[in-house]
Structure 1
Amino acid sequence: MGRRRERGGVASMSEDLLANIVRRLPATSFAAAACVCTSWRRACSQILSRPKLASALSLNPSAPIALQEVVDKVLSEPIFPHFAIVYAGLGFDLAVVLQYISRKLGARTPVIVTRDAGVIGMDAATNEVKEVELEDESEDNEIHIDIARGIVLTVGFVPGLKVDCIPLVRPAKEPAMVDKFIMDIREYSTSISGCASPVGLIMFGDESADIKCFVEKLDIAMPVETAIVGDERGNFLYRSANNLRNVHGSQKCHDDAVALVFAKERNSTPGVGEIRFHVALSDGVSVVGPTYKAVSVRARDDVTWLTAKREGQAEILDGESILNEIYGEMNNRIEFPEYYIRVTKRRKHAIGAEKAKLITSLSFHLVRGGDEEYLYVDGAGIKTGDCFQFYYANPAAALTSRNDVTASLRSLNLGCNSKSCYQVAGAASNAGKSEVFGGLLFACCGRRLFFFGRPNVDTSPFVENFPGAPLAGIYCGGEIGRCSMRPEEQGSQGESSTRCCCHVYSTVYLVMSYTPARPGATTLRG
């Protein structure tokens, strides 16, 4: 009798009924159900066979309640967490957030918790996309940080990919170990896929480190197929699935950056399709004035002092003379413009024992001012003979570029919203059709409400093209986005390989798409 009752209970439950039950479970219960037996595991795998990005924003003024709200929302539906990214407001203790998220998602889930100038996300209660500035300014212009000011949790399930955090370590009183960082990424990707090139990297840099030159070297080391995006300067904590990499907080070293590395699995589950990363850039600066060539260059305390001359002329100009020329060129087009110089650098780079390559790259440096001796700009790495031009932040240019991104995302012609991305595998209507299942956005902290005069300008290209698809973002102190030069900016002497990875007044879009395996396919195409 006992055996008959067992067969008449769980064991005899129809596959449709079983799928209907487990589909309604929250993430924690769903994960437990997958461990019950083979039939339950099979049902769970069918329900969650396609990639998924779950994301939520809470604006609750209480940090503990806000943290609980985003966790409850993200884990309210089935998901296996392969990675998590948290964008936190000023009222959150990053260490507390990291510990809490790690406990909820499990020790094997890589997690990055970061903070910069603001957050972007989908409200946990309304699913409305909101842009949130971290500063809470009163009428007396005082900044209050005694409230949470928003937190965004994003959890990803990416079948066919493996994900982990890899840090860029700087030992005490020594330079950052950039070559080791690159080799660690290559070795991790090789161990997973047999190929040294990952599908994509999401980087977060420390506010105390200038990582432009590190990103340039990473760009050289990785093929163009590898997507690279991120936040150049902020505050972050992380936890890798590999405990040997969890060196953050050590007195012997400092983490200048951390990368979330996505590598394609060599032997993935049969029938798994292909995940792709698409990167788009909306820039917001315009060129002004002639091209200059640096004559004398001095670097001190992360500031470069330089003199220069107009290209093709012999007269050496001091900082005041250069700025007066630029002011004249501007002719009051913008009342209080913010200036940058964009430097063209030709350098030899080598990774480890590899043969050095001559690479042309571009780097933006904020202009601090000038006097009768020098022009002063932020950052280092400029050399005598480098050419540069001035750029200024331009809302009109940003809007035009934003419209180009909208058209570019539309040209993906993926034609789906988030609902179709969560259908059970085997839906014939979508067989072989690409789907967008989410996106991340990295926007300059200068491109907020006061820059455009209205909200939601930078989120609209994604929201309009992929309504309902999860979107999360952060306002950055420097945007990382790997892209080639636009055709109109390329020269005729080999400049087509010129690249710029670190941007100013821009917004970088990372769009994640999925193409199901064709009927009869048994392995992930590598």
Structure 2
Amino acid sequence: MTSFASINEDLILNILKRLPALSFASAACVSKSWNQICNQILYKPKFASAFSLNPDEKVALEEVVNKVLSEPIRPHFAIANVIGSGVDLSERLNFLATKLGFQTPIIVSCTSGIMGRDAVTDEHREVMLEEYWVDGESNPCNGIILTVGFLPGLKVDAIPLFQPRKGCRATMVDNFVMDIKDYATSISGCASPVGIIMFGDEDADQKPVMEKLDHAMSSDTIIIGDERAQFLYRNGVESRNDYESSEYFSAAVALVFARDRDKPCGTGEIQFHAALSSGVSAVGPRYKAVSVKKIVSGTGHTTWLTARREGEHEIQDGQRILDDINNELVNQVGHPDLYIGVTEQRRCFIGSQKSRVMTFLVFHGVMGGDQEYLFADGVGIRTGDYFQFYHPDPSAALSSCSNVSKNFRNLNLDWSSRNCLHARGVYDNVCNKELVGGFVFSCCGRGESFFERCNVDSSPFLDNFPGFPMAGIFCRGEIGRGFSVFNADEGQEERTSHCCLHVYSAVYLLVSYTPAHP
């Protein structure tokens, strides 16, 4: 022990930084001096991500866990996304809690596809949920992607939205928003967190949730996520892990990132940056809803409506409206999905707080029409609302994705130039900023079949930040709020209206880090 204790501190540092995460954590507990050395090694934020397509589910889970824990990291949160049908999420959640610690907030969800680097080959891939035939039987493609983050200067926790299975749900949404605000206030002194990664239940309507959040949060709070998913979660506080009962279910869960006002001196600043690649184009004139009926059935909620063209007096039925739009789309084949983007002016408030009028752009899937009504998926449309038709457009999506990549490139160049100045000793008004990692939430209608080429949705990351950890999923509804930096290519209506729930889009999140000045 005497000879080992006399080893040079630099040599100990060189040994410790090569340890996997679990051994590194044990080494940090050996002595105060070793703990200080470990803190020197792991002082900056870090992301680790990996996916596996191993057909053995347990092996796949072990592969991604071993990969993300192969280097020193202290898990502040974890997100695991699984593709496949009939998946036991609870088994994966319990395994991750055992490996990452029971105080680590964890969200596990089912998704339509994943994108990232293979845990074994380190090859980047985008993989969609598909079924293939082997010996006359259908077999689902299974896979998992795991992301673990260490974000010093922030605190993270998972906050659920519980809703009653029957009865009014509006007050529960208010409670959910206030829970987020209270958590952020307790950590940072500010009611709006830095960012939120959210997963919504596949059977719950997230529109009123996002309207309330958009109203309540500062414009600086970025919110991204998956609108419709199966998920399970764990809080950072074990006593709060109350799962759904016969009376309540988890309609959503928010992974909340709040600045730590008690962070250690010398800790740098973490910043979230959001971007959106839109995949739809407007078609035809604007319409004004004239008569609206809300239809509730066992299969879901729909809206029946008639409308007139903007500036005209004649009321048109659903079939005539669709005939006009189909004539506009005569050369568009292969992507039959059609949406109406409804401009809604609504008065928003939380509890007894003062309300304000906000304008939202809300997408509703078009379900058809007849000689009387146009049928739209969902509810919330009112008489007098204006709407326009939108259709999936691969060309527009490619152009939009290219614009995101260009803005990422400009951001990277700006960071690089600032870092060069910093390296030369020019500290005044210069931020030495670097990328930590990022996420992508892309529509499951995109991917290789949509673009007729692979890895398009990943390309803004791959082209500008190669080698940095990135995790992505293909989902059935993209949550995205906070595009003040990169939405210059959007139309005037989209810039003036709040749009938090998107269709055929890809939502990007970059996490950057600025070290504290010496």
Structure-2-length-normalised TM-score: 0.93
- Counterpart of 2:30, as a letter, is V
Deviations along 1:137-156, one digit per CA (max 9) or x if unpaired, are 339997523x5x21101000
Does structure 1 residue 64 correspond to structure 2 residue 66?
no
> Who is 1:32 aligned against?
26
TM-aligned CA deviation for residue 14 of structure 1: 1.9
Does structure 1 residue 356 correspond to structure 2 residue 350?
no
Deviations along 1:97-118, one digit per CA (max 9) or x if unpaired, are 0000001111110000011211
Q: Provide the rounded CA distance (Å) in 1 between the counterparts of 2:357 and 2:125.
A: 44
> Who is 2:270 aligned against?
275
Q: Provide the rounded CA distance (Å) in 1 between the counterparts of 2:242 and 2:137.
A: 37
- Counterpart of 2:165, as a letter, is A
Contact map agreement 1:201 1:228 (CA 8 A) in 2 = yes
Q: Provide the rounded CA distance (Å) in 2 between the counterparts of 1:142 and 1:213.
A: 42
- Give runs of aligned pairs for residues 334-349 of structure 1, distance below 5 A: 334-349=333-348
Give the one of 150, 154, 167 matched to 1:157: 150
> Who is 1:452 aligned against?
451
TM-aligned CA deviation for residue 335 of structure 1: 4.8
- Give runs of aligned pairs for residues 325-340 of structure 1, distance below 5 A: 325-340=324-339
- Give runs of aligned pairs for residues 218-257 of structure 1, distance below 5 A: 218-257=213-252
TM-aligned CA deviation for residue 298 of structure 1: 1.2
TM-aligned CA deviation for residue 243 of structure 1: 3.1
Q: Provide the rounded CA distance (Å) in 2 between the counterparts of 1:429 and 1:25.
A: 35
Does structure 1 residue 298 correspond to structure 2 residue 317?
no
> Who is 2:159 aligned against?
166
Give the gaps of 5 or more residues in structure 1: 421-425, 520-526
The SS at the match of 1:381 is coil
Q: Provide the rounded CA distance (Å) in 2 between the counterparts of 1:116 and 1:124.
A: 19
TM-aligned CA deviation for residue 449 of structure 1: 1.5
Contact map agreement 1:402 1:461 (CA 8 A) in 2 = yes
TM-aligned CA deviation for residue 37 of structure 1: 1.1
Task: Give the direction of change, closer, same or farther, for the CA distance of 1:208–1:142 in structure 2 (3 Å limit).
Answer: farther
TM-aligned CA deviation for residue 59 of structure 1: 1.0
Aligned length: 501
- Give runs of aligned pairs for residues 335-414 of structure 1, distance below 5 A: 335-413=334-412
Does structure 1 residue 188 correspond to structure 2 residue 183?
yes
TM-aligned CA deviation for residue 378 of structure 1: 0.9
Contact map agreement 1:414 1:433 (CA 8 A) in 2 = no
TM-aligned CA deviation for residue 427 of structure 1: 12
- Counterpart of 1:250, as a letter, is S
Q: Provide the rounded CA distance (Å) in 1 between the counterparts of 2:239 and 2:176.
A: 14
Q: Provide the rounded CA distance (Å) in 2 between the counterparts of 1:133 and 1:335.
A: 18
Give the one of 81, 100, 116 matched to 1:87: 81
The SS at the match of 2:462 is helix
- Counterpart of 1:196, as a letter, is A
Contact map agreement 1:167 1:245 (CA 8 A) in 2 = no
Of all paired residues, the percent bearing the same amino acid is 54
> Who is 2:70 aligned against?
76
- Give runs of aligned pairs for residues 139-150 of structure 1, distance below 5 A: 143-145=138-140, 149-150=142-143
**Alignment RMSD, CA only?**
2.2
> Who is 1:47 aligned against?
41
Greater shift in the superposed pair: 327-336 or 157-166: 327-336
- Counterpart of 1:47, as a letter, is I
The SS at the match of 1:499 is coil
- Counterpart of 1:115, as a letter, is C
> Who is 1:524 aligned against?
none
TM-aligned CA deviation for residue 432 of structure 1: 4.2
> Who is 2:93 aligned against?
98
Q: Provide the rounded CA distance (Å) in 2 between the counterparts of 1:94 and 1:428.
A: 51
Q: Provide the rounded CA distance (Å) in 1 between the counterparts of 2:457 and 2:107.
A: 23
> Who is 1:205 aligned against?
200
- Give runs of aligned pairs for residues 3-18 of structure 1, distance below 5 A: 6=2, 8-10=3-5, 12-18=6-12
Q: Provide the rounded CA distance (Å) in 2 between the counterparts of 1:123 and 1:428.
A: 39
Greater shift in the superposed pair: 83-92 or 397-406: 83-92
> Who is 2:491 aligned against?
489
Q: Provide the rounded CA distance (Å) in 2 between the counterparts of 1:220 and 1:88.
A: 32
Greater shift in the superposed pair: 333-342 or 233-242: 333-342
> Who is 1:126 aligned against?
121
Task: Give the direction of change, closer, same or farther, for the CA distance of 1:403–1:76 in structure 2 (3 Å limit).
Answer: same
Q: Provide the rounded CA distance (Å) in 2 between the counterparts of 1:75 and 1:427.
A: 35
- Counterpart of 2:310, as a letter, is E
TM-aligned CA deviation for residue 490 of structure 1: 2.4
> Who is 1:423 aligned against?
none
Greater shift in the superposed pair: 173-182 or 448-457: 173-182
TM-aligned CA deviation for residue 9 of structure 1: 2.6
The SS at the match of 2:402 is helix
Task: Give the direction of change, closer, same or farther, for the CA distance of 1:193–1:414 in structure 2 (3 Å limit).
Answer: farther
- Counterpart of 2:127, as a letter, is V
Deviations along 1:122-173, one digit per CA (max 9) or x if unpaired, are 111222211111222339997523x5x2110100000000000001110231
- Counterpart of 2:164, as a letter, is P
Q: Provide the rounded CA distance (Å) in 2 between the counterparts of 1:275 and 1:467.
A: 20
> Who is 2:321 aligned against?
322
> Who is 2:469 aligned against?
470
TM-aligned CA deviation for residue 454 of structure 1: 1.2
The SS at the match of 1:334 is coil
Contact map agreement 1:414 1:435 (CA 8 A) in 2 = no
Q: Provide the rounded CA distance (Å) in 2 between the counterparts of 1:498 and 1:335.
A: 30
- Counterpart of 1:85, as a letter, is I
Give the gaps of 5 or more residues in structure 2: none
Contact map agreement 1:415 1:435 (CA 8 A) in 2 = no
- Counterpart of 1:318, as a letter, is D
Structure-1-length-normalised TM-score: 0.91
The SS at the match of 1:217 is helix
Q: Provide the rounded CA distance (Å) in 2 between the counterparts of 1:270 and 1:414.
A: 29
TM-aligned CA deviation for residue 362 of structure 1: 0.6
Q: Provide the rounded CA distance (Å) in 2 between the counterparts of 1:407 and 1:69.
A: 34
- Counterpart of 2:504, as a letter, is Y
TM-aligned CA deviation for residue 375 of structure 1: 0.7
TM-aligned CA deviation for residue 338 of structure 1: 1.4
Greater shift in the superposed pair: 163-172 or 237-246: 237-246
TM-aligned CA deviation for residue 496 of structure 1: 5.4
Contact map agreement 2:17 2:41 (CA 8 A) in 1 = yes
The SS at the match of 2:366 is strand
> Who is 2:514 aligned against?
515
Q: Provide the rounded CA distance (Å) in 1 between the counterparts of 2:398 and 2:14.
A: 46
- Counterpart of 2:357, as a letter, is L
Q: Provide the rounded CA distance (Å) in 2 between the counterparts of 1:161 and 1:428.
A: 28
The SS at the match of 1:170 is strand
TM-aligned CA deviation for residue 497 of structure 1: 4.2
